[in-house]
Structure 1
Amino acid sequence: MATKRQELGVFGEQRVVSDCACPRCKRQKTLVRLPPNFKCADVICDFCGFLAQVKAASARSLDRLPKSILGAAWGPQRERMESAIYFSLFIVLATTDRSYAIFYLAADLQEPDMFKPRKPLSETARRAGWQGFVYDMNAVMNRAVRLR
């Protein structure tokens, strides 16, 4: 049984796949979802191979990005950043009635400062030692564009 957060994530990925053209090749209906737990990417263009991350967040207002968004695993993200590899980011904001907005932040507009590691989970946690990160959107707020 999926959690509310997982359901929101799937909703966001489905909205990007159905509503967005590929930012690289500009083709419609070529973005497809990757399998769950694929590291650092959620969608791929089945024409040109473009990869992107999708983050979905609950919001009261669809007009403005939140100050921060929960990321995923810090280890893989940090390793990619050390190799200067960044994935573009689709941000889907959804209200309780499932109205939504989609924002896009290109990989080349991202900065290392926007990725903030979280404290590792305690030794008694189910996934002890796992460490996530947060996207600090304050640094790039004016760089994201609203697509829908």
Structure 2
Amino acid sequence: MNYNFNLSLIENYKSNSQKIRVMSETWLAENVYCPYCGNSHLSKFANNKPVADFYCDSCGEVFELKAKENNIGKKITDGAYSTMIERITSISNPDLFVMQYTKEYQVLNLLVVPKFFFTPEIIEKRKPLSENARRAGWIGCNILISDIPKQGKIFIVDRQHLRNKEDVINDYKLIKNMQTNNINNRGWLFDVLNCINEIPDKEFKLNDVYRFIEVLKEKHINNNHIEAKIRQQLQLLRDKGYIEFLERGHYRKINL
């Protein structure tokens, strides 16, 4: 695979953001398949499409692309905060492609985050633009990519290593079992999943998860029954096939 951006595409552009958008979108359209159904081609929406950048004409899945130079880091800049929250709480939210490119304009990493991993808690509201700005008062947002569980970040290209297509599709199918349309339940499920991911051993005890009670209290300040919610999410993860119940208060990771 050729990981280089096509620099000839940007000869008539002055804005750096426009240059990156044109080169990254063209590269993805020419090289990337649908990670959901495996269709070899993704089609590009018109530039004025407000929700997404690409769609699969086989399964209908839609995708947005965000590209960053060097490290992806902890957060990714996105558009209007209110629009993003509205998208997350509706059925219109697209999957997210996150592309990391080098200063030499080469694709280094490409991952996809399924839409059902988005919760309001991972959307950070930015300060309103100043009264002197052209869009005074406009409020943007950041996607806190580091708060998304690792299971929701499926690599297609990993440090210029192209993963096997079937492995990517299987990863997506496996994690789709995590999908829930209840936003509050989704937030709790993924917060507890992040806690379990922090436990280094394959087998763990209920008390190992209870060590994250204060962390969860900060995220869910209106809930006074944190321990009960933890146990509830462990049961859900068991039912979805991601952990195994061994005995009272004792679990084993399966697909984590």
TM-score tier by shorter-chain length is 0.7 to 0.9
Report the structure, 1 or 2, having the larger strand content: 1
Does 1:57 pair with 2:74?
A: no
- Whether the 8 Å contact between 1:16 and 1:90 is mirrored in structure 2 is no
1:84-130 Cα offsets, whole Å, 9 max, x none, are: 64321001111111121211111122232111111121121112222
Identity of aligned residues (%): 27
User: Which deviates the most, 82-91 or 129-138?
Assistant: 82-91
Residues 116, 8 of structure 1: alpha-carbon distance in 2 compared, 3 angstrom cutoff: same
Provide the C-alpha distance between the structure 2 equivalents of 1:112 and 1:48, rounded to a whole number of angstroms.
Answer: 26
| TM-score where L is the length of structure 2 | 0.51
Letter in structure 2 aligned against 1:28: S
Structure 1 residue ranges without an equivalent (≥5): none
Count how many residue pairs are aligned between Structure 1 and Structure 2. Answer: 143
Aligned to 1:124: 132
CA contact (8 A) 2:85 2:120 kept: no
**8 Å CA contact retained: 2:88, 2:118:** no
By relative contact order (CA 8 Å, sep 6+), the higher-ranking structure is 1
Work out whether residues 123 and 143 of structure 2, in 8 Å CA contact, stay in contact via their aligned partners in 1: yes
- For the residue of structure 1 that corresponds to 2:73, the secondary structure is coil
TM score, norm. by length of structure 1: 0.85
* 1:11 alignment partner in structure 2: 23
| 1:74 CA drift (Å) | 1.8
The 3-state SS of whatever aligns with 2:83 is helix
Q: Which amino acid aligns with 2:79?
A: A
In structure 1, the residue matched to 2:47 is: 36
**Structure with a larger share of its residues in helix:** 2
Task: Report whether the alignment pairs 1:78 with 2:85.
Answer: yes
Distance 1:58 1:49 in 2: 29
Q: Which protein is bigger by CA-based radius of gyration? A: 2
Give the distance between the partners of 1:117 and 1:40, measured in 2 at CA: 18
For residues 21 and 57 of structure 2, what CA distance do their matches in structure 1 show? 21
Q: What residue is the counterpart of 1:147 in the other structure?
A: 156
Q: CA RMSD in A?
A: 1.9
Unaligned runs of at least 5 residues, structure 2 = 1-12, 158-256
